[in-house]
């Protein structure tokens, strides 16, 4: 790949060597996204220094490209006036994206620094939830009356020196400002000049409403290969347009969220945040985990007498718990993904449950045989092998059932399954795993 930016890998070294001219030169040539990458690689104490080397006209764009956690941290460190200078020149949708993460003390100053028109537009964009189509849209759509000919529209566009970024379509409106069609830019080039624009409008355009969820917007962009799409209100009035670059960011953030949430982390986690802050952020997750682990220990504690009589149980019980947790997590993962892509819905949920339960029993049976042989050989006790085997089948079956029901339940009560699903599932498989090994052993062997 021919980079449009010189390599920034050595930014950490350059700052460590206090090689300021090299950093300044690097940043002068670099794309804002690459400067943002460079800042993210630095420890928080170094970032305000690096900031001073960023060309003034690029600072706002750099802020937009920063990871949320790093942005929040940097915004606290910088002078208010520097921050405002960087932000006030941005597009409205960019300012709107940054505002929720700004220190409250500076909010009023930012709104004061932009012109009246921008402030009014900001008010409009900020009135929609951040994760809605309204929160995602830009206000820079080009609209023309739908009864104009292609030639007239071409002449109108020629008056502009440039079009807004990602303009692949022009919006056609009637005299009441309602959206009546979407004209691809290429039709201006390939169409016959006398044709009314409306005759070249898209056959089946995708339109969004301001409160559509950003996940649905992202899926539609991916499914229908869109570059941009309009957002309209209930009266079909055009509110703005969504462009693919913002949708790509949504998809990446969503993916990061799912990946990080499984370990109880937030997607905006700053790798180089101070130790104290990171410890605080992560410790809540460990608290949740301690409670679930204590639940497992409590189950074991009920069978202390059995363990004392047959210490092999203490050796073998973690295997059953662990296998149930792994098999159950596979089911859980498939179900969470199926629910988020929409492949799993009410209509076929029972098929999923039936299938996963069967897979659980089958895999339980396979590994029950293996573990029975191992346990029987290890302790020269075929009955012990039998007990462990029975517990294995029971726990893998329960893991499958829990893997289907836990995400459904969490979704229903409004908890993110990607965050809480894993911990809930392993609590079930630990408890069932320990209880079935120790309970069956107590009944049958002792």
Q: Which 323-362 positions form the footprint of its own copies (CB under 8 A)? A: 323, 326-327, 329-330, 332-334, 337-338, 341-345, 347-348, 351-352, 355, 358-359, 362
Question: Using the 8-state DSSP alphabet, how is residue 197 labeled?
Answer: G
Residues 423, 427, 433, 438: what is their CA dihedral angle, to the nearest 10 degrees? 150
The answer to whether 252 contacts its own copies (rule: CB under 8 A) is yes
The answer to whether 380 contacts its own copies (rule: CB under 8 A) is no
The answer to whether 205 contacts its own copies (rule: CB under 8 A) is yes
The answer to whether 290 contacts its own copies (rule: CB under 8 A) is yes
Output 119 or 282, the one with its CB closest to its own copies.
282
CA angle 282, 72, 98 (to 5 degrees): 130
The answer to whether 4 contacts its own copies (rule: CB under 8 A) is yes
Output 40 or 82, the one with its CB closest to its own copies.
40
Binding its own copies (rule: CB under 8 A), the pick from 23, 26, 27, 34 is: 34
The answer to whether 369 contacts its own copies (rule: CB under 8 A) is no
Q: How many residues in the shown chain lie near its own copies by CB under 8 A? A: 131
The answer to whether 254 contacts its own copies (rule: CB under 8 A) is yes
Between CA 26 and CA 35 the distance in angstroms is 9
Q: What is the pairing mode between strands 169-173 and 238-243?
A: unpaired
Binding its own copies (rule: CB under 8 A), the pick from 24, 33, 126, 148 is: 33
CB 81 within 8 A of CB 54: no
Location of structure tokens 């929160």: 135
Binding its own copies (rule: CB under 8 A), the pick from 10, 80, 118, 149 is: 10
The residues, ordered by sequence, that sit 6+ positions from 166 with a Cβ below 8 Å of its Cβ are 227, 228, 243, 244, 245
Q: What are phi and psi of 208, to 5 degrees?
A: -110, 150
Binding its own copies (rule: CB under 8 A), the pick from 28, 263, 443, 444 is: 263
Residues 72-111 that bind its own copies (CB under 8 A): none
Output 112 or 224, the one with its CB closest to its own copies.
224
Which sign does the torsion angle of CA 246, 252, 254, 257 carry? negative
From the CB of 24, what's the least distance to its own copies, in Å? 19
Nearest to 50 by CA among 87, 41, 102: 41
Output 114 or 226, the one with its CB closest to its own copies.
226
Q: What are phi and psi of 213, to 5 degrees?
A: -70, 145
**Adjacent-strand bridge partners of 6:** none
């Amino acid at each position: 790949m021919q980079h449009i930016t010189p390599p920034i890998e050595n930014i950490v070294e350059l700052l460590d060597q206090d090689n300021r001219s090299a950093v300044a030169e690097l940043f002068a040539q670099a794309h804002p996204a690459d400067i943002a990458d460079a800042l993210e690689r630095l420890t928080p104490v170094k970032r305000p220094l690096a900031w001073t080397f960023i060309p003034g006209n690029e600072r706002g764009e750099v802020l937009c490209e920063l990871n949320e956690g790093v942005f929040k941290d940097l915004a606290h460190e910088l002078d208010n006036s520097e921050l405002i200078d960087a932000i006030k020149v941005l597009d409205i949708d960019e300012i709107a994206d940054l505002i929720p993460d700004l220190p409250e003390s500076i909010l009023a100053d930012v709104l004061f620094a932009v012109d009246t028109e921008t402030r009014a537009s900001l008010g409009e964009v900020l009135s929609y939830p951040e994760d809605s189509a309204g929160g995602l849209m830009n206000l820079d759509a080009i609209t023309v009356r739908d009864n104009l000919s292609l030639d007239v529209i071409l002449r109108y566009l020629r008056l502009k020196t440039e079009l807004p970024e990602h303009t692949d379509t022009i919006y056609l409106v009637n005299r009441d400002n309602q959206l009546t069609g979407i004209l691809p830019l290429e039709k201006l080039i390939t169409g016959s000049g006398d044709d009314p624009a409306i005759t070249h409008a898209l056959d089946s355009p995708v339109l969004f409403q301001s409160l559509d969820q950003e996940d649905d917007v992202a899926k539609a962009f991916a499914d229908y290969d869109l570059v941009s799409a309009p957002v309209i209100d209930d009266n079909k009035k055009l509110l703005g347009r969504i462009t693919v670059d913002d949708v790509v960011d949504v998809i990446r953030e969503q993916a990061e969220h799912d990946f990080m949430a499984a370990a109880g982390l937030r997607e905006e986690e700053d790798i180089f945040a101070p130790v104290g802050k990171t410890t605080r952020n992560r410790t809540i997750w460990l608290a949740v985990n301690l409670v679930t682990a204590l639940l497992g220990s409590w189950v074991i504690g009920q069978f202390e007498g059995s363990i004392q009589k047959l210490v092999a149980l203490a050796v073998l019980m973690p295997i059953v718990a662990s296998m149930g947790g792994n098999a159950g997590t596979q089911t859980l993962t498939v179900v969470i993904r199926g629910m988020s892509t929409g492949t799993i819905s009410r209509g076929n949920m029972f098929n999923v449950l039936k299938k996963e339960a069967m897979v659980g029993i089958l895999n339980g049976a396979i590994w029950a045989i293996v573990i029975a042989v191992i346990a029987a050989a290890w302790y020269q006790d075929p009955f012990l092998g039998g007990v462990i085997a029975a517990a294995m089948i029971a726990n893998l079956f329960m893991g499958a059932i829990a893997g289907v029901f836990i995400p459904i339940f969490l979704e229903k009560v409004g908890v993110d399954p990607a965050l809480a699903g894993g911990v809930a599932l392993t609590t079930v498989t630990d408890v069932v795993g320990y209880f079935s090994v120790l309970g069956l052993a107590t009944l049958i062997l002792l």
